[in-house]
Structure 1
Amino acid sequence: MAFAWIGSSIPRNGDWTEPERGVEIMIETNGVHTAIVMPLVNSQKDWRADFPAADLPAPDRPYTHVSVSWGEREVFLNTPTWADLSLPTAINAATGGDGLLHVAHYVRPASSDTARVLRLRPAEYARLVRIIETQVVPPDRRTVHGGYEDWDVFYDAPGTYHLGNTCNQWTSDTLAGAGVRTGWWTPFAGGVMKWVPRTDRRFSR
């Protein structure tokens, strides 16, 4: 825990400042896991081809945003609640498990303390998009796995999950690759969220 606190407190892109205008995303957390929420469609990227609503049990809602995160396959698929996490699954994830993308679709999501708005410059958002695109297996080569609700789904994804490459590390690595200030080693959600300031700013709909 001490090493995680120290590692998450060392900044990457330490001179980065949030612009007054730009593309609004959100960093969300459930207290354990973090995800990046982006516009489903804007002038720079249309995610509908990568993450089609047709893959969802409820495809016909007027979705406006998409939440993307990466994690360990068995944990994602077999632990709908943390009470379902078994010791063998946890050990397997910590020592090396296959990656999986979790994609949730939202309709006009609201900002909150656990879903914080972060504004990026267009060039930064473009880099963020390119990084996430490297994790997207083409639809004709991937398996679609059912999600927890009727608005989320899982997809096969590259990468190996382990203690040095957790779901929260994926979030901070993705942000850092876009040029955003974040911590060096962020195995826990708090290590990611402490770099995203709490504000009263409403999320543009």
Structure 2
Amino acid sequence: MFNTKLIYRICILNLCLIAILAAIGYLTPRKWGDSSQKNCTVSVQVSNQGIHTEIIVPVKNQYFDWNQYLPITQIGREANYDYKYLSFGWGDRAFMLESPTSATINPVIAFNALFLPTPSTLHVQGYRVFPQDIETKCVKISGKNYRRLVNFLKNTFQLDAAGNKIKISYGYYNTDSFYEAKGSYSILRTCNDWTAEALREAEIDTPLWSTLSSSIMFHLNSGCEGI
């Protein structure tokens, strides 16, 4: 006969252990001490959109011009495409295409996204002025590390046989689109884990456990007031 009280206690202990490990991973940075960089000439923003983070970079600066890599005129539906900033976010394809807000989340799609390896997408949005209606945090990095970040973002695009970016559809608004991306989404590699990987390429500190958007925002050192 099973000892139900013992099983119950073991379950409680396991849950407590998981919660403790998650809290440690949430609060523990990957880099200790002063993580500031030298010759910081580029401002990069990270946006927190609830459960999802994205990276916002200038369309053009002295280190890279996105016009040379991505057809800026084709990102949005609107004719005025004079974007100054681009936002990049990676995630589960079905979830991102069908869930513009948390109120529209399909539980079946959410379950598949978490527990099955599913196709991914890269969300790209253009801004003519820096967005003020979402939570953002800014960090300053060197030109060398900015190029490393750009290379990571570029390498996320899935290309066709001719080397072209593969556009899936327009996005939620008139200023964004979805593109086919490399990699599979799962609970082991979420949208926020992707953001953390990108930030680490630029030597920006991230938490040991980066699944939650709030954990990434918690560890970002705000080095500037805005772009």
TM-score normalised according to structure 2 size: 0.81
Q: Pick the aligned partner of 1:67 from 75, 87, 90.
A: 87
Q: Does the CA-based 8 Å contact 1:183-1:191 persist in structure 2?
A: yes
SS in 1 for 2:156: coil
* Partner residue in 2 for 1:127: 148
SS in 2 for 1:134: helix
- 141-150 or 28-37, larger mean C-alpha shift: 141-150
Q: Distance in 1 between matches of 2:70 and 2:80?
A: 14
* Partner residue in 2 for 1:188: 212
Closer/same/farther in 2, CA of residues 115 and 66 from structure 1, 3 Å limit: same
RMSD: 2.2
SS in 2 for 1:160: strand
Sequence identity (%): 27
- Bigger relative contact order (CA 8 A; separation at least 6): 1
Q: Distance in 1 between matches of 2:62 and 2:187?
A: 37
* Partner residue in 2 for 1:137: 158
Structure exhibiting the larger radius of gyration computed from Cα positions:
2
Q: Distance in 1 between matches of 2:111 and 2:178?
A: 21
- 6-15 or 101-110, larger mean C-alpha shift: 6-15
Q: Alpha-carbon deviation of 1:80?
A: 1.6
Q: Alpha-carbon deviation of 1:64?
A: 0.5
- 48-57 or 38-47, larger mean C-alpha shift: 48-57
SS in 2 for 1:183: coil
* Partner residue in 1 for 2:3: none
Q: Does the CA-based 8 Å contact 1:100-1:156 persist in structure 2?
A: yes
Closer/same/farther in 2, CA of residues 189 and 141 from structure 1, 3 Å limit: closer
- Structure ranking higher in helix proportion: 2
SS in 2 for 1:11: coil
* Partner residue in 2 for 1:88: 108
Describe how 1:1-205 pairs up with structure 2 within 5 A. 2=19, 3-15=21-33, 16-19=35-38, 21-55=40-74, 56-95=76-115, 96-110=117-131, 114-138=135-159, 140=164, 142-197=166-221, 201-204=224-227
Q: Alpha-carbon deviation of 1:147?
A: 0.2
Q: How many residues align?
A: 203
SS in 1 for 2:57: strand
Closer/same/farther in 2, CA of residues 90 and 194 from structure 1, 3 Å limit: same
Which runs of no fewer than 5 residues in structure 1 stay unpaired? Answer: none
- 117-126 or 140-149, larger mean C-alpha shift: 140-149
- 5-14 or 189-198, larger mean C-alpha shift: 5-14
* Partner residue in 1 for 2:8: none
